[in-house]
């Protein structure tokens, strides 16, 4: 039982600052990638896909969550 308590005591100012910073929404990193999709014999079209990454830990994020599930960073998505 003592372990949890010890960890709490090791919280540093930096940990607290980091936690507060994560409450500030940060714009997600948008990565646009293109690939060629075969739509008919020998016919391709270029498909654009967008993926999002957490600005703090670079974990991929899906379905526009409010917070990163990896590090708890509050996320902001451009546009509506």
CB of 34 to Zn ion, least distance (A): 25
Token pair in block for residue 1: 């039982």
Residue 23: other Cβ atoms inside 10 A: 10
Dihedral sign (CA 16, 20, 21, 23): positive
CB of 18 to Zn ion, least distance (A): 12
Is 71 a binding residue for Zn ion by CB under 5 A? The answer is yes
Cβ proximity of 56 and 71 under 8 Å: yes
Give the binding range for Zn ion (CB under 5 A) out of 14-22, 25-33, 45-53, 66-74: 66-74
Q: Which residues bind Zn ion (CB under 5 A)?
A: 54, 56-57, 59, 68, 70-71, 73
């Amino acid at each position: 039982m003592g372990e949890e308590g010890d960890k709490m005591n090791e919280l540093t100012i930096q940990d607290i600052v980091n936690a507060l910073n994560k409450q500030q929404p940060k714009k997600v990193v948008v990565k646009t990638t293109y690939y060629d999709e075969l739509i008919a014999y020998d016919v391709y079209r270029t498909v654009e896909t967008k993926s999002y990454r957490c600005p703090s830990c670079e974990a991929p994020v899906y379905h526009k969550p409010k917070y990163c599930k990896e590090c708890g960073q509050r996320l902001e998505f451009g546009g509506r």
